[in-house]
């Protein structure tokens, strides 16, 4: 498939297409579309978060971590990004580093830690 397919259409059309591929569990294709969108609009949290999720689900964990850290740098109280960063770090075997992010995500969600 030509790269022009991933770049075709307006940003809104590409966003819709990326979500369709993500929902169909075609994470690699979603990544190819979202990479261009994030490059064009790096301030858009939703696009970057979906890109991080696509990386996570396609086991590109270091790339997911990079995107999640970029989101949290701009918006430290983005709950889902905080939770995903914790889970990503866990999958990378960095449980000590993951723990504070998971605790913070739980606190943001109003969950109480187990006694």
pLDDT, position 111:
81
* φ and ψ of 3, to 5 deg: -65, -20
pLDDT band at residue 51, thresholds of 50, 70 and 90? very high
Q: Write down the pLDDT at residue 25.
A: 97
| Distance (Å, whole) CA 34 – CA 95 | 28
The average confidence (pLDDT) of the chain is 92
- Residue pLDDT, tens place only, 54-105: 999 999 999 999 999 999 999 999 999 999 999 999 999 999 999 999 999 9
For residues 95 and 7, give the distance between their C-alpha atoms in angstroms, rounded to a whole number.
38
Task: Please give the Cα distance from 67 to 78 (Å, whole number).
Answer: 13
Inter-CA distances, 96 with 52, 71, 83, 88, 90, Å? 21, 21, 14, 12, 8
Proportion of the chain above pLDDT 70, given as a percent: 92
pLDDT(114) > 60: no
Closest CA to 94 of 48, 61, 50: 61
Contact between 47 and 15 (Cβ < 8 Å):
yes
pLDDT for res 110 = 86
């Amino acid at each position: 498939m030509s790269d022009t397919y991933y770049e075709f259409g307006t940003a809104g059309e590409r966003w819709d297409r990326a979500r369709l591929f993500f929902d169909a569990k075609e994470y690699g294709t979603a990544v190819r579309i979202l990479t261009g969108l994030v490059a064009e609009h790096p301030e858009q949290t939703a696009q970057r978060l979906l890109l991080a999720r696509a990386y996570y689900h396609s086991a590109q964990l270091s790339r997911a971590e990079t995107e999640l850290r970029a989101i949290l740098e701009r918006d430290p109280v983005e709950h889902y990004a905080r939770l995903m960063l914790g889970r990503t770090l866990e999958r990378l075997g960095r449980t000590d580093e993951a723990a504070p992010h998971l605790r913070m995500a739980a606190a943001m969600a109003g969950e109480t830690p187990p006694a």
